[in-house]
Amino acid sequence: MSVATEPRTLAPPERRIAEVKGVERVGAYDLIVARDPIGPADPRPGQFYMLAAGERWGGGDRERPYLPRAFSFARARPLPGGQGVDLSFLLEDVGPGTHRLGELAAGEPLALLGPLGVGFTRPRQDQRALLVGGGIGVAPILCWDDELRADAVEAPVLLGFRSARHAEAAALFAGSPDVSTDDGSTGRRALVTEPLRAELERDPRAIVYACGPEPMLDAVRELCSALGVPAQLALEAGMACGYGACFGCVVATADGYARVCVDGPVFAAEALA
Amino acid sequence: MSVATEPRTLAPPERRIAEVKGVERVGAYDLIVARDPIGPADPRPGQFYMLAAGERWGGGDRERPYLPRAFSFARARPLPGGQGVDLSFLLEDVGPGTHRLGELAAGEPLALLGPLGVGFTRPRQDQRALLVGGGIGVAPILCWDDELRADAVEAPVLLGFRSARHAEAAALFAGSPDVSTDDGSTGRRALVTEPLRAELERDPRAIVYACGPEPMLDAVRELCSALGVPAQLALEAGMACGYGACFGCVVATADGYARVCVDGPVFAAEALA
Amino acid sequence: MSEVDLCGVTLRGPILNGSGTFDAIAARRVFGDALLERFPFDCFVSKTITLQPREGNPPPRLWETASGLVNSIGLPNKGLARFLELDLPSLAELPVPLCVSVMGFSHEELAALVEAVGAFDEVSLVELNLSCPNVETGTLVGADPDETAAALRAARASTDKPLIAKLTPSAADPAGVAAAAQGAGADAVSLINTLKGMPLHPGTHQPWLGARTGGLSGPAVRLVAVEQVASVAARVAIPVIGMGGVACGRDAADLLAAGATAVAVGTESFRDPAAGRRIGDELAAFQSACKAT
Amino acid sequence: MSEVDLCGVTLRGPILNGSGTFDAIAARRVFGDALLERFPFDCFVSKTITLQPREGNPPPRLWETASGLVNSIGLPNKGLARFLELDLPSLAELPVPLCVSVMGFSHEELAALVEAVGAFDEVSLVELNLSCPNVETGTLVGADPDETAAALRAARASTDKPLIAKLTPSAADPAGVAAAAQGAGADAVSLINTLKGMPLHPGTHQPWLGARTGGLSGPAVRLVAVEQVASVAARVAIPVIGMGGVACGRDAADLLAAGATAVAVGTESFRDPAAGRRIGDELAAFQSACKAT
Ligand SMILES: Cc1cc2nc3c(=O)[nH]c(=O)nc-3n(C[C@H](O)[C@H](O)[C@H](O)COP(=O)(O)OP(=O)(O)OC[C@H]3O[C@@H](n4cnc5c(N)ncnc54)[C@H](O)[C@@H]3O)c2cc1C
Ligand SMILES: Cc1cc2nc3c(=O)[nH]c(=O)nc-3n(C[C@H](O)[C@H](O)[C@H](O)COP(=O)(O)OP(=O)(O)OC[C@H]3O[C@@H](n4cnc5c(N)ncnc54)[C@H](O)[C@@H]3O)c2cc1C
Ligand SMILES: Cc1cc2nc3c(=O)[nH]c(=O)nc-3n(C[C@H](O)[C@H](O)[C@H](O)COP(=O)(O)O)c2cc1C
Ligand SMILES: Cc1cc2nc3c(=O)[nH]c(=O)nc-3n(C[C@H](O)[C@H](O)[C@H](O)COP(=O)(O)O)c2cc1C
Ligand code: FES
Ligand code: FES
């Protein structure tokens, strides 16, 4: 039952309480920073956490939310002397759960489980890493970019957003990522797959790391398979537990259904059905 | 179906949103002041409102609260020019509903229905009014005392509390009420029925208005019937609707079960079974 | 809001109250004539009436649970004679058609009730509450297709008014029971009634309710209702009145999409007496929005 | 925590997981050996195993509702042979007794499953998931006393291991079904399984779940479970394993007070993998507090 090879940092086997340090609006999104006193300081980019407000989780639209919600960590800053880690999450308010989390204030409790799932695997020496993020999907790309930079791995970052308001999230990146928007209100008016195609045609000896809405991931997949470029896609799926207990979060793969939360969320594009 | 004679101010037939003006700790209790823009400015002392937090009502202990909660208004201050009324409620945190309401902050929405039920009926000329409140049951006694004072009706107020901390609520009264506490930490160490007995023995041509915990009301009832003194008791009962819809809040009376929310909460002691 | 034809009765809209969840007479005492001017429902369903008067169950009768309510009210009512004498005239003043809900503990009782209420012009529809124990077997009449059919035949023979069979969700096969009701002359079925539940006292862990067990309602049961309404509507040709946990227009739309002709609001009215009207408005806005697109 | 005797198997405490709500193998991948050091349950119940492998239902498989969850997982599993080969060795490493849940679509299948898993020393108990459709009638075996008894007889003849009959809450008379299971050789009964429910897509109002309908669990069903556990426990002499919406020690205490010998935690584990342990601790503290007074 050992799976030593997968890029996964183990999680403590219980939900714990982190302290919200701050909630900041970043364009169309909320950036929540929470101090995790117990969890590992080295989650792998692409891994995620199950989050819930520590109090009054429920009583929203149609009496929800009830279950915790899955969020990729966008940044992890270890505190000196193993005092824990400050975790950042980038949220888009799309329903009662994200809405409630966006209402959290500094000092309030955030219930958290993780890190969960498997993250991105590092590029081979001969592979140029290309990072592609769409909308709220930039969250895992942010920490992946941080890590590759820290290791001096040169990796272009291509981001796509609905509008300039959403694109404000690009400012979170250390470098100056390439930005496309659907409405051209900032950066290039294009789908992010256009600059990706250009990059890949320039030099196909690459590996693509992508996270974003399904249509975008489908386009990335198609493009990469057409050009024979390997890709790692960070998927989303409706989840109840996040650690493989409910079998609810399945995606179709070459050999049957796989659980996004334990077999993913990062999958090799080739492995998907 | 006319009931013109009962001391009842009609309620608008829908739940409305009031704005919380402030929540103040008064000893062991919370005093919530909310601005009701639509409702009548003249609820009758003894009437009550069904309250719920305008947001996130739920997700507390065992996923509750779900239903609104009943609270006597403790004070009603009409605003100039029919701009509505500022309603005060005195709350004791005994569970998820009162806890959530106690967490409300100024500016937040308070969902409210009322005024509901029938209030106290005024004393006859030849009756001396005696007001008796126990614990959180002082709430309706407060506005009743205000009204009788405004009409220059002399009416001694006898209050009983668990401890000095609870007895801080006595400071809300205009006059200087007689205070008893279970532990003697302030005022007389006694049950409130002791000073009541003294008052009634001094002059039995009285009518007693009482609200408080069941054991206290039982004692008041016993005492008054022994001395042949009429009493009006403001009862409590678990409620779902507050306006007669669910038949859930019944109390046994001489002629069968009565609904505390529409036939009460104020009942003539003699009428109860 | 577009009109709805329910068994030949024209309703100004699709929203009813669940029987026993709104007392229009008490509400008028509390809200005055404003209640009639802004009446929350498009058809009013009375609390279930029995032949003899009933006191109802001993308190406590209510327990709040996660997103729901458990009640053990026990059908308190004046009994047929005093209902007709004292309540019917007031209910006739309501601005919407009247449906009277009845429960008989025998076929004779049922026939007598249906015949008596059906004789009044003020009564447009009669609902049979089938969640009553069979006096011999103790099981619910509404849980069994044959007993349900027998009850419907007894009622059908006693009135020409449209008959609505109110089903219990505790049947192993609600659609089978609905089909039996249709076969025996029901003009419509309504569901779901409450699910059996038992809350315990938080301290003593003894039954909280005076009647030990009660019925669960509210959002907690909504998706059970949608499933049963869908399976019943797929099986019968007569109209289905859907209810169970409806709290907003989308919930009502869910039941209509599942095959219901009309929707009843129960527990949500306890949170807001105007819930029925709000839900009807939300539904209408929602429907015209869909038409628009 | 005080030990519990469940059909002759000694458990360190009264908390099990509901079948299909905890995958100890996946959890060990996620949490490592810390899971074994702080294992949340006192007895581990496997996901339901069938004779042939199953892919399970098409996604989406989950819908969150008011205080609950509707799932249409569809019993995905490796099938008996690969379960025994690949999973059983890992499950045998768990620090608590193992119960294997099985479902057979015929008496032959059921007998084969029970005989095969019962033959392993690692397997202390066998649970029969009776929420399976009768291939002819389409109704649930567990909804009918006779079909339940027949299934139990087929299983009983195939093993000496303690047999737990997992009842469906959709029976008109769960106590009657439980009595039938006892009569046919069940050593214990467990309940409740999920209630049938159907969520619709918020936009299209078409069924949300890939399988159209699913099963409702969580706090929304808790008091339905307490009622059914109480009525079943009052009817049978064998131990009852109670479950349904248990989220805290008081919920577990409710089920024990209703007559259960042990309590299973399902959906609450999705909110916290350590829920079982927390609930067991709360229950123990609660019980010693009661003894103290
Ligand atoms: C591995 C992973 C990583 C993620 N990372 C991020 C991140 O970094 N930032 C971020 O903002 N989001 C992230 N998400 C998405 C996030 O989990 C969802 O946006 C969140 O769960 C929405 O919850 P909600 O209550 O706000 O909205 P919901 O109301 O739950 O709606 C969200 C979607 O769920 C579906 N839905 C609607 N109602 C229901 C219901 N009752 N039951 C089930 N499904 C329903 C609909 O498709 C809807 O579009 C991630 C998801 C996964 C799986
Ligand atoms: C007419 C009237 C006037 C009132 N005026 C006031 C007032 O002015 N100030 C004030 O503080 N209070 C007042 N109350 C009492 C107030 O309504 C209750 O304290 C409140 O409803 C408690 O809600 P909760 O959620 O905080 O506590 P709960 O958890 O509801 O507990 C309160 C009581 O309800 C019972 N209970 C516990 N759990 C449940 C459950 N799940 N379902 C049903 N019952 C349960 C128990 O007996 C418990 O002691 C009044 C009540 C009435 C009827
Ligand atoms: C307090 C209460 C009393 C009820 N009384 C009756 C009744 O007298 N007759 C009846 O047929 N149904 C009765 N019901 C069931 C409701 O009509 C309805 O079927 C059920 O509550 C589900 O709808 P809801 O979830 O919207 O409340 C009652 C329900 C409640 C909550
Ligand atoms: C996602 C999920 C999967 C389940 N799978 C099974 C199963 O395979 N076999 C079974 O007998 N019960 C299964 N159940 C039912 C649970 O074991 C339990 O009976 C039910 O969920 C009620 O308990 P709860 O409210 O604590 O979840 C499943 C429940 C859920 C939520
Ligand atoms: S979310 Fe439960 S198995 Fe993936
Ligand atoms: S609270 Fe519903 S009738 Fe009194």
Ligand 6 centroid vs B245 CA: distance in angstroms?
6
Element (H, E) at A110: strand A109-116
CA distance B17 to chain C (A): 12
Ligand 1 centroid vs A94 CA: distance in angstroms?
7
CA distance B62 to chain D (A): 8
Annotated active-site positions of C, please?
A: 132
Ligand 6 centroid vs B246 CA: distance in angstroms?
5
Q: Which two tokens stand for residue B137?
A: 């049951």
Ligand 2 centroid vs A111 CA: distance in angstroms?
29
Q: Is C20 on the interface with D (CB under 8 A)?
A: no
Q: How confident is the model at residue A83 (pLDDT cuts 50, 70, 90)?
A: confident
Ligand 6 centroid vs C63 CA: distance in angstroms?
12
Q: In a 3-state reduction of DSSP, which class is residue C262?
A: strand
Cα C149–chain centre separation = 19
B218/B231 Cα distance (integer angstroms): 11
Ligand 3 centroid vs C22 CA: distance in angstroms?
9
Which residue do the tokens 């000073």 mark? B195
Which has the closest alpha carbon to B177: B197, B149, B151? B149
Q: Is A48 in the pocket of ligand 1 (CB under 6 A)?
A: yes
Cα A32–chain centre separation = 14
Ligand 3 centroid vs C19 CA: distance in angstroms?
6
Q: Is B57 on the interface with A (CB under 8 A)?
A: yes
Is residue A184 over pLDDT 90?
yes
pLDDT of residue C135: 62
List chain A residues with CB under 8 Å of D38: 13-14
Q: Per-residue pLDDT tens, chain C, 293 aa: give them.
A: 689 999 999 999 999 999 999 999 999 999 999 999 999 999 999 999 999 999 999 999 999 999 999 999 999 999 999 999 999 999 999 999 999 999 999 999 999 999 999 999 999 999 999 987 666 666 789 999 999 999 999 999 999 999 999 999 999 999 999 999 999 999 999 999 999 999 999 999 999 999 999 999 999 999 999 999 999 999 999 999 999 999 999 999 999 999 999 999 999 999 999 999 999 999 999 888 877 65
Contact yes or no for B240 and C69 at CB 8 A: yes
Cα A148–chain centre separation = 15
C25/C34 Cα distance (integer angstroms): 13
Q: In a 3-state reduction of DSSP, which class is residue A94?
A: coil
- Mean per-residue pLDDT over chain D, rounded: 96
List chain C residues with CB under 8 Å of A63: 67, 219, 247
Contact present, C196 and C213 (Cβ < 8 Å) = yes
Q: Is A62 on the interface with C (CB under 8 A)?
A: yes
Contact yes or no for C227 and D197 at CB 8 A: yes
| R_g (Cα) of chain B, nearest Å | 18
Contact present, A41 and A100 (Cβ < 8 Å) = no
Which residues fall within 8 angstroms of residue B59, CB to CB, at 6 or more apart?
Answer: A55, A56, A57, A58, A59
Q: Is D144 on the interface with B (CB under 8 A)?
A: no
Contact present, A142 and A175 (Cβ < 8 Å) = no
Cis omega (within 30 of 0) for bond into A78: no
B222/A42 Cα distance (integer angstroms): 70
The amino acid present at C99, given as its one-letter code, is C
C98/C92 Cα distance (integer angstroms): 7
Query: Three-state secondary structure along C114-141?
Result: HHHHHCCCCEEEEEEECCCECCCCCCEH
Annotated active-site positions of D, please?
A: 132
Which residues fall within 8 angstroms of residue D142, CB to CB, at 6 or more apart?
Answer: D130, D131, D132, D148, D165, D166, D167, D168, D170, D171, D177, D193
Is residue A2 over pLDDT 70?
no
List chain A residues with CB under 8 Å of B58: 56, 58-60, 63
- Mean per-residue pLDDT over chain A, rounded: 96
CA distance C159 to chain D (A): 30
Q: Is A236 in the pocket of ligand 1 (CB under 6 A)?
A: yes
A145/B206 Cα distance (integer angstroms): 82
**Start-to-end C-alpha separation, chain D:** 18
Strand partners, C4: C11
Which residue do the tokens 């009135």 mark? C159
List pLDDT tens digits, range D115-127.
Answer: 999 999 999 999 9
Contact present, D279 and D247 (Cβ < 8 Å) = yes
List pLDDT tens digits, range D178-237.
Answer: 999 999 999 999 999 999 999 999 999 999 999 999 999 999 999 999 999 999 999 999
Which of the ligands is closest to the CA of residue C268? 3
Query: The dihedral of CA A60, A62, A65, A66: what is its sign?
Result: positive
Residues with CB under 6 A from ligand 3: B 246; C 18-21, 47-48, 69, 71, 73, 75, 101, 129, 166, 192-194, 217-218, 221, 243-246, 265-268
Contact present, C214 and C71 (Cβ < 8 Å) = yes
B110/B128 Cα distance (integer angstroms): 38
List chain D residues with CB under 8 Å of A54: none
Q: In a 3-state reduction of DSSP, which class is residue C166?
A: strand
List pLDDT tens digits, range A136-169.
Answer: 999 999 999 999 999 999 899 999 999 999 999 9
Contact present, C273 and B14 (Cβ < 8 Å) = yes
Q: Is B70 in the pocket of ligand 2 (CB under 6 A)?
A: yes
Element (H, E) at B116: strand B109-116
Contact present, D71 and D214 (Cβ < 8 Å) = yes
DSSP assignment, residue B159?
A: E
Of C76, C218, C267, the CB nearest to B247: C76
Contact yes or no for A100 and B57 at CB 8 A: no
List pLDDT tens digits, range C85-113.
Answer: 999 999 999 999 999 999 999 999 999 99
Which of the ligands is closest to the CA of residue D17? 4
Q: Is C219 on the interface with A (CB under 8 A)?
A: yes
pLDDT of residue A81: 87
Q: Is A109 on the interface with B (CB under 8 A)?
A: no
Task: Read off the pLDDT of each residue in B217-237 and give the average, rounded to a whole number.
Answer: 97
Q: How confident is the model at residue D131 (pLDDT cuts 50, 70, 90)?
A: confident
Q: Is D208 in the pocket of ligand 1 (CB under 6 A)?
A: no
Q: In a 3-state reduction of DSSP, which class is residue A270?
A: helix
C164/C181 Cα distance (integer angstroms): 9
CA distance B42 to chain D (A): 38
B166/B135 Cα distance (integer angstroms): 7
Q: Is D222 on the interface with C (CB under 8 A)?
A: yes
pLDDT of residue C293: 58
Is residue B1 over pLDDT 60?
no
Q: Is C134 on the interface with D (CB under 8 A)?
A: no
List chain B residues with CB under 8 Å of A62: none
Q: Is B60 on the interface with A (CB under 8 A)?
A: yes
C238/C226 Cα distance (integer angstroms): 17
Q: Is B247 in the pocket of ligand 6 (CB under 6 A)?
A: yes
The amino acid present at B167, given as its one-letter code, is A
Q: Is A116 on the interface with D (CB under 8 A)?
A: yes
Interchain CB contacts (distance < 8 Å): B and D: 8
Considering only alpha carbons, which residue of chain C is nearest residue D202? C250
List pLDDT tens digits, range B150-186.
Answer: 999 999 999 999 999 999 999 999 999 999 999 999 9
Query: Three-state secondary structure along chain D?
Result: CCCEEECCEEECCCEEECCCCCCHHHHHHHHCCHHHHCCCCCEEECCCECCCCECCCCCCCEEEECCEEEECCCCCECCHHHHHHHHHHHHCCCCCCEEEEECCCCHHHHHHHHHHHHCCCCEEEEEEECCCECCCCCCEHHHCHHHHHHHHHHHHCCCCCCEEEECCCCCCCHHHHHHHHHHCCCCEEEECCCEEECCECCCCCCECCCCCCEEEECHHHHHHHHHHHHHHHHHCCCCEEEECCCCCHHHHHHHHHCCCCEEEECCHHHHCCCHHHHHHHHHHHHHHHHHHC
Which has the closest alpha carbon to D260: D193, D180, D190? D190
Q: How confident is the model at residue B269 (pLDDT cuts 50, 70, 90)?
A: very high
D164/D238 Cα distance (integer angstroms): 10
Of D139, D218, D227, the CB nearest to C173: D139
What does residue C118 show for φ and ψ, rounded to 5 degrees? -65, -20
Q: Is the ipTM, as predicted for this complex, more than 0.95?
A: yes
Instruction: Please report which residue ranges of chain B form alpha helices under DSSP H.
Output: 96-102, 138-150, 164-167, 193-202, 214-227
pLDDT of residue D286: 86
Query: The dihedral of CA B113, B118, B124, B127: what is its sign?
Result: negative
Task: Provide the Cα torsion C270, C273, C276, C278; round to 10°.
Answer: -110
Contact yes or no for D271 and A257 at CB 8 A: no
CA distance B60 to chain A (A): 6
pLDDT of residue B2: 39
Of C23, C90, C273, the CB nearest to B13: C273
Is residue D290 over pLDDT 80?
no
Contact yes or no for A244 and D30 at CB 8 A: yes
Q: Is A239 in the pocket of ligand 1 (CB under 6 A)?
A: yes
